[in-house]
Amino acid sequence: MNINLGDLAPNFRAISTLGILDFHEWLGDSWGLLFSHPEDYTPVCTTELGVVANLKAEFAKRNVKAIAISVDDLESHVGWIKDIEETIGAKVDFPILADEKKEIVSLYGMLNDNSKNNFTVRSVFIIGPDKKIRLTINYPVAVGRNFDEILRVIDALQLNENYQVLTPANWQYNDQVIIDPNIPKDELDERFPKGFQEVKPYLKYTPQPG
C-alpha cells in the first residue's frame, strides 16, 4: 500500500510492549511519530531507540507520542529494551509494536520486498492530530536517523498548523519564517503584529510567531 502526504494514517489494533493498543485511540489528540526497524538487536536502531527515549521531554512539550515497530515478537522486544537501557542509559517507556504477521508494515508500505528476509524499511511517519500523514522519510540501513532534524520538522509543521507560515531552507527554531502567499493582504497586519518584510509579492518574511 502506498501512503501519501495528506492521507489518513491507517488505523490498526496491535500488541505492543505496553499492551494491546488501538492506534488512533492511543494517539488521541496528539501528534504521532511512528518509526520502523528491520529487526531487533540491530546496532543502529539500538542507538535510535535510546535517543528517542532520552528525548521524551522534547517530544512531550510538542504533544508528540512516539511509537516504534518491527516484525519481531514481543519477547524479543522486551529483551532488546534491556540492551538499549543498558547500553544507551535510557528508559524506553514508549511502545514498540510486535508485528510478527507483517500486517502493519504492509499496511504502511514499510515492507522491503527486495530483501531476502522481507525486512522492514527504516521509515519515519509524522502524523497530525487529525490522523493525517504530514511527513514520510525512508533511511538506508547504514545511516542513523537524525532526531534533531525530526524535531525541527515537527516544529515547522506545528508553526504551519497554528499560524499558516512556511519555513525557508535551513530554517532553525526562532529564525524568520515565510508568510503563506494565500493569506489575503488585508489580513497581514492583524495576523502578524511583529511586522513583515516583503521581498517579492509572493515572498514575505516575518519573525517566528508564538
Cell of 50: 535510546
- Helices 43-54, 74-88: crossing angle, 10 deg rounding: 70
- Helices 147-163, 43-54: crossing angle, 10 deg rounding: 50
User: Which residue among the candidates 14, 45, 126, 156 is catalytic per the annotation?
Assistant: 45
Q: Which residues contact 106 (CB under 8 A, 6 or more apart)?
A: 1
130 in active site:
no
Do the beta carbons of residue 14 and residue 95 sit within 8 Å? no
Pairing label, strands 133-139, 122-127: antiparallel
Helix (H, G, I), strand (E, B) or coil at 136: strand
Do the beta carbons of residue 84 and residue 50 sit within 8 Å? yes
Cell of 208: 517566528
Task: Give the angle 116-122-124 at the CA atoms, nearest 5°.
Answer: 150
Catalytic residue list: 45
